[in-house]
Amino acid sequence: MTAVDERTAEAAGPEVGKARRRKEDQRLITGRTRFTDNLSVSGMLHLGMVRSPVAHARITAVDTGAAKASPGVVAVLTGADLADKQGSLPCAWPITDDQKAPNHPAVAVDHVAFAGEVVAVVVARSAREARDAMELVDVDYEGLPVVLDLETAAAGAPYAHPELGTNVSATWVYDSAQAGTGTDVDEEIAKAREDGVVIERTFRQQRLIPAFMEPRSILVDPTGEQLTVWTSTQVPHFVRIFLALVLGIPESKIRVIAPDVGGGFGGKLQFTPEEVLTVLAARHTGKPCKYTETRSESLVSGHHGRDQLQRLTLAATKDGTVTGLKVDLLANMGAYLGLVTSGIPVLGAFMYNSIYKLAGYRFTDTNVFTNTTWTDAYRGAGRPEATFAIERLMDELAAELGRDPIELREQNWIKHEEFPFSTVAGLTYDSGNYEAATARAKELFGYDELRAEQKRRRDSGDPVQLGIGVSTFTEMCGLAPSRVLGALKYVGGGWEHASVRVLPTGKVEVVTGSSAHGQGHETAWSQIVADRLGVAFEDVEVLHGDTAISARGLDTYGSRSLTVGAMAVVKAADKVIEKARTIAAHLLEASADDLEFAGGRFTVKGTDKGMALGETAFAAFQGHNLPDGFEPSIDADATYDPVNFSFPHGTHLAAMEVDTETGAATLRKYVCVDDVGNVVNPLIVEGQVHGGLAQGIAQALFEEAVYDENGTLVSGSFVDYLVPSAADLPSFITDRTVSVSTTNDLGVKGVGEAGTIASTPAIVNGVLDAIRHLGVEDVVMPCAPQTVWRAIQAAFTKGGAA
């Protein structure tokens, strides 16, 4: 169980593919952590954020007198104080040219649009003194009508922002006939109405909260020449750029550090009001300032996810061939547009067709403002919603036609020999084998046996019914080819940067722009570089998450780290080898073409003459004897822009037991077989799948952010927002098939979001499969006992009346 044992066990063969135990663990299991709230700087002040208790109001007065007089209080800053300094928080993805968006202040000036919005900042000597004084800030609110419901908001007044005169932010359309990627979906639907099958459903993607375990924290040190910002973020590079753009601070004067970061799941893919306000407070006081949110603050003010209404029409022939899909989506932006709020539904636009060969497709997304916490990326971001829709529809079609849901899917999916395949949504899938993953999943699941048990229990009228939930999926990962992002009006690129440095002593430093927060980059990147450069796994040090060290980068989200970030590392390592080759050739008095590089050593073909990579690094360090004009360094940088997305896929099967008397839905068995291409570290891949499954299952069964009619988040603590515990989940059976990605040198596809994307529809399909024979046609998420029980009772009532 020690490092020595591991080395013995894992000594032979290439590093890539080994279940290396993580380098990151040692500090995390011993408490030597550098989470932002663990850090202190001399003279540090503490902030408290006074937040609006009301969802929609004019601010008519803010009295800070009593708060300012409270012991230990250094300053109280209001919207009026900061109005001309704070700028407006950015939306980096204006999806249309005429997208409407309100000004987005870090601290409200005269209008609040959701409960939880910051209305004043208290700066005090201690967090407790700040908290005491927060109670003394007196804000007068003049209430405005609150709009919460998506359909009501889309229809017209009242408006979340009266000055906009509408709640609709933007409408975005993809039409396969217009794009030239398919037929006219309305014609497909008309044909199916005439002589086929049309399935029309409305599904609700409830609002979720990312609920990373580490509450967000920010520490800003304004002393010295540079402003240093430690922040619990997925995107330190974004934070640096946006602090410069929004606050007018020269980018070169800002250093952003994401130290240990306790999870993100998209929830820390944001540029936050609290980051802006902590910087402004530090500049105002000239002292280091820290802000750490409480969990309750995090749940109400950190961005939420999902919250979409999907109106769907699926067309098929009578023999079960799917011909068209029309998606009419209402997406809840909440009260403001965050970093990529408006683009989240658009990320789903390319995935509704999933693994199927559709002729016609149209996706219409209407983004709508409400007086709620703003939404943005949450694990999967647009793609779980799309996958849920199509996978639920495929089950509905199977039920309508009386077909086995897997067999119906197979009839419609892209066969393995048909890759590369251009989809109706305009993407080109490079590789995949849905048959292989499905066959393996069925085998591990015991599909036929469970179907037989299901029949037995149905025939015997067992009060606990068994349902089998099927979900097949693919996702677009590796965000993203920069040109595609440009075409979609995203303001940034999708490349990633890396540096590889061989130190004079032969140790290797790898700098990655992909900032990890639990994914294990330090371990995986070490494995890749160890193989590439022929050095020991232990001799590779991976550095990230500090803009002074990792100067260029686009960070971690969208299952991009391995497919884009590690590819940049590979490209940099290859450059190092080529530079070293020139030095080795010079010193060995051989032609560079005659040198072979293997196992960390250059050898002259056909001789025993050779030189280690480390020796070339030392020669470069000395600079005594190098080729004329050769710079004394073998270090190299690379920036890699992917040529295409990657397309992991998988088949997930869930056995659900539903107690028809209580409505309790219990997950008995879960099998998933994922194809994520080549695997660098199977232990890390499995861990990603486990965690992803837990979050996707939680959407199906447990989690929902709930507002009351006044716009108060009533699921605003961990008492009310049900993040599942160990007792709520079973052990999962996971396996993999491998179709190598053909669009990157590593053959990898990404795994961070797979489990979350596939599992939600598997669970809901399973619940329905257990009770469909009772006349239940849908159960809204989360499938809590009361919801399931009501659905069963409604079916009984309807059945009785019919």
Partner 1 sequence: MTRISVKIDGVAYSDEVENRTLLVQYLREQVGKTGTVIGCDTTNCGACTVHLDGRSVKSCTMLAVQADGHEVTTIEGLAHDGVLHPMQAAFHESHALQCGFCTPGMIMSSIDLLNDNANPSETEIREGLEGNLCRCTGYQNIVRAVQLVAGASASTGASS
- What DSSP state is assigned to residue 519? S
In the complex, minimum distance from the CB of residue 61 to partner 1, in angstroms, rounded to a whole number: 29
In the complex, minimum distance from the CB of residue 656 to partner 1, in angstroms, rounded to a whole number: 17
- Beta-carbon contacts of 648 under 8 Å, excluding residues fewer than 6 positions away, are 474, 475, 477, 559, 674, 675, 676, 677, 749, 750, 751, 754
In the complex, minimum distance from the CB of residue 705 to partner 1, in angstroms, rounded to a whole number: 15
Name the nearest CA neighbour of 196 among 311, 321, 312: 321
Beta carbon nearer to partner 1, 16 or 358: 16
In the complex, minimum distance from the CB of residue 212 to partner 1, in angstroms, rounded to a whole number: 6
d(C-alpha 171, C-alpha 331), whole Å: 10
Beta carbon nearer to partner 1, 175 or 214: 214
SS3 574: helix
Beta carbon nearer to partner 1, 35 or 618: 35
Beta carbon nearer to partner 1, 365 or 703: 703
Helix axes 567-588 and 613-622, enclosed angle (nearest 10): 70
d(C-alpha 147, C-alpha 159), whole Å: 7
Is the dihedral angle over the CA atoms 76, 81, 85, 91 positive or is it negative? positive
With 0-12 / 13-18 / 19 or more C-beta atoms within 10 angstroms meaning exposed / middle / buried, residue 420 is middle
d(C-alpha 276, C-alpha 240), whole Å: 11
Beta carbon nearer to partner 1, 396 or 555: 555
In the complex, minimum distance from the CB of residue 1 to partner 1, in angstroms, rounded to a whole number: 4
d(C-alpha 641, C-alpha 387), whole Å: 27
In the complex, minimum distance from the CB of residue 259 to partner 1, in angstroms, rounded to a whole number: 12
Binding interface with partner 1 (CB under 8 A): 1-2, 21-22, 24-33, 35, 37-38, 128, 211-215, 260-263, 265, 294-296, 517-520, 683-684, 686-688, 690-695, 717-719, 723, 725-727, 729, 731-732, 755
Beta carbon nearer to partner 1, 168 or 713: 713
d(C-alpha 502, C-alpha 572), whole Å: 11
Beta carbon nearer to partner 1, 188 or 221: 221
In the complex, minimum distance from the CB of residue 676 to partner 1, in angstroms, rounded to a whole number: 16
Tally DSSP H helices, then E strands, for the chain.
23, 28
In the complex, minimum distance from the CB of residue 281 to partner 1, in angstroms, rounded to a whole number: 20
With 0-12 / 13-18 / 19 or more C-beta atoms within 10 angstroms meaning exposed / middle / buried, residue 61 is exposed
Beta carbon nearer to partner 1, 7 or 32: 32
Beta carbon nearer to partner 1, 518 or 614: 518
In the complex, minimum distance from the CB of residue 208 to partner 1, in angstroms, rounded to a whole number: 12
Beta carbon nearer to partner 1, 226 or 294: 294
Beta carbon nearer to partner 1, 34 or 773: 34
In the complex, minimum distance from the CB of residue 102 to partner 1, in angstroms, rounded to a whole number: 30
- My answer on whether omega of the bond before 480 falls inside 30° of 0, hence cis, is yes
In the complex, minimum distance from the CB of residue 723 to partner 1, in angstroms, rounded to a whole number: 5
8 A C-beta contact, residue 255 and residue 228: yes
Name the nearest CA neighbour of 611 among 599, 602, 621, 600: 602
Kindly write down the DSSP assignment for every residue of 743-788, as one continuous string: SSTT-B---TTHHHHHHHHHHHHHHHHHHGGGT----PSS--HHHH
Q: Which tokens is 793 given?
A: 């009772």
Residue 281 one-letter amino acid:
A
